[in-house]
Amino acid sequence: MNEIVNRSLVIAQLSPDANYLCRNVFLLAFVPKGHLEWIRYRNIMQSNSWESHPAQLESGIDRRTLLILGGVGMAGLVAAPIIHRAVRPRATSFVARNQHYDGPLATTIRDGILACDFEPDTIRGKRVLLKPNLVEPCRNRPHMTTHPAMVVAAAEVFASWGADVIVGEAPGHVRDTEMALIESGLGEALNEMNIPFADLNYEEVQWVPNRGKRSTLEGLYLPRSVASADLIVSMPKLKTHHWMGMTASTKNLYGVLPGIQYGWPKNVLHLKGIPQTVVDIAASVPKTLAIIDGIDCMEGDGPILGTKKSMGLVAVGTNTIAADATVARIMGLVPERISYLALAADDLGPINERRIEQRGEAWQPLVDPFAVLDEPHLRSLQATENGPVVS
């Protein structure tokens, strides 16, 4: 009740109108102390005591008004959690099934982006960076890296909308980026389509503040092509991960940071905490969009040594957190148990199923649990007690 009265008195100093007071106390009941609005009113409260404004208090508030304010404020505090849940972020996620690398992927990707309410006019004349996963390419393990057909199809879509498209990657396990382009087949595909490529491992960098603040890093060094992008399209291969459980569009953003600053395989970030730095990167880079290669995926000992799992899916989302939560469920994993998704939840995007509007295919019929390593920290992520495991 003291909290209610304090808030009431703050407003009392702003207006003697009891009706105005009631309305604003009701609203203030929903403002968390950490928000700027509360800080502003709190500062007023600290610099203006009851005694310093007796005339205002006499004319603006009496015992009856205080009782009214207390009752309204108490109702507000009771309702606050409900209001908080109502205003948490929502997102859309799109999934298409029966997809093939030699099929009409550009049409699928275009349909998915538009289904998620993306406005193509917003990127006309703007710079779009497509970021595939080329972590450690190998010709006989194409299910480890994003398929070139996906990247070319996405480039076609964004170019048709008038965007200036570039592909960029900082392979996490490979210092020779040219070799990575050759082994993955992406280099040849980009050359055929005259799509430029940026080697993010060795570009000039720009320091930006750490907006995620989950790790102790004060800021991040972003390659020039990343810092100058108007939109970053994260294009991962859908895979299990032997530490994190899964890797998709949010974890894929690790590959926008340069090896010359963070090492191979980004050991500086690992030491600061993988879940924490994943969230920090996602919060600090320019606007992002997810296009997930879930056609041929990886299960088991991912993200490098796992086995192929064919799913035939393409997933799209204008929020990487929500998109990853959706594909996690399809993989038979619980998003709330995946550390970096739980850390990012609500601040960067929703992971609660009820807050993600599904477009295209419903995810439930698509569930086909991915096998994980037989380790306690990975088995605990599975939606069922007897989910598939491998040694």
Strand pairing report for 356-360 and 245-247: unpaired
Euclidean distance between CA atoms 298 and 13, whole angstroms: 62
Measured CA to CA, the distance from residue 65 to residue 14 in angstroms comes to: 15
Strand-strand pairing, 307-317 and 288-299: antiparallel
**What is the identity of the amino acid at 301?**
D
pTM of this prediction?
A: 0.80
CA pair distance 184, 149, nearest whole angstrom: 11
Q: Over its length of 391 residues, how does the chain's per-residue pLDDT go in tens digits?
A: 444 434 444 433 333 333 333 334 333 444 443 344 333 333 433 333 333 333 333 344 455 555 555 565 555 555 555 544 555 669 999 999 999 999 999 999 999 999 999 999 999 999 999 999 999 999 889 999 999 999 999 999 999 999 999 999 999 999 999 999 999 999 999 999 999 999 999 999 999 999 999 999 999 999 999 999 999 999 999 999 999 999 999 999 999 999 999 999 999 999 999 999 999 999 999 999 999 999 999 999 999 999 999 999 999 999 999 999 999 999 999 999 999 999 999 999 999 999 999 999 999 999 999 999 999 999 999 999 999 999 9
CB 259 within 8 A of CB 230: no
